Amino acid sequence: DAKTTQPPSMDCAEGRAANLPCNHSTISGNEYVYWYRQIHSQGPQYIIHGLKNNETNEMASLIITEDRKSSTLILPHATLRDTAVYYCIVRVNNQGGKLIFGQGTELSVKP
Amino acid sequence: DAGVTQSPTHLIKTRGQQVTLRCSPKSGHDTVSWYQQALGQGPQFIFQYYEEEERQRGNFPDRFSGHQFPNYSSELNVNALLLGDSALYLCASSLEPGAGYGYTFGSGTRLTVV
């Protein structure tokens, strides 16, 4: 079973920041938080991951709370092409093949 | 640089038949994982192949089997198809069993069992 809880859906206006929350209250000290997204009719795409520090790359920022029980993925300037299902996954790094996907959050970016 | 290639893109089979799906990993990757995604659900891990051996397996029956070839490509075989096997089958490649960020997914094979 997935170790994360995400809202099933969210809307965001184009050009605004999209903030996607994820709860992972049972996360262990050696587990990372990963975010993937799946655009319709495509396979999942890696976005970002982190352990306890906030992370930023060219796609997004990841904010992890100090107690690590929740995190937020931030798309700073959402575009229509960011409409997708976003998955938050927790797992030990270098654990092997298994990514456990939950239901994810369906983000709709609207003009 | 080609990413992960899966074939065929769509397939219709009859209940009880057998099916083989194919995956070519991203250049430089040597590990292949297979996932099943039912409509409206997240992908579910089937198994992973590395060095031509099954290294890890999810909660799927023995009807699901696989193979990895010396060129790192892989096949997923499903025997005695059930209606419930209808799904999108995704292949993901990585360098060694690897970190969670290193996976590149293909666009999948849509299998319909009638």
Residue pLDDT, tens place only, A30-78:
889 999 999 998 999 999 999 998 999 999 999 999 999 999 999 999 9
Supply the pLDDT for residue B2.
67
Q: Predicted confidence band at B86 (pLDDT cuts at 50, 70, 90)?
A: very high
**pLDDT(B23) > 80:** yes
HSE, side-chain direction, 13 A CA sphere, residue B98: 18
**B79 and chain A in contact, CB less than 8 A:** no
Residue A65: how many other CB atoms lie within 10 Å = 12
Predicted confidence (pLDDT) per residue in A75-105, tens digit: 999 999 999 999 999 887 666 668 889 899 9
Where helices occur in A1-111 by DSSP H, the ranges are none
Residue with tokens 């010396």: B70
Residues of A in contact with B90 (CB under 8 A): 43-44
Supply the pLDDT for residue B15.
98
Give the minimum alpha-carbon distance from B98 to chain A in angstroms, rounded to a whole number. Answer: 5
Window A:13-52, CB contacts with B under 8 Å: 32, 34, 41-46, 49
Spatial CA neighbour of A48 closest among A37, A19, A39: A37
**pLDDT(B34) > 60:** yes
Q: What is the DSSP letter of A5?
A: B
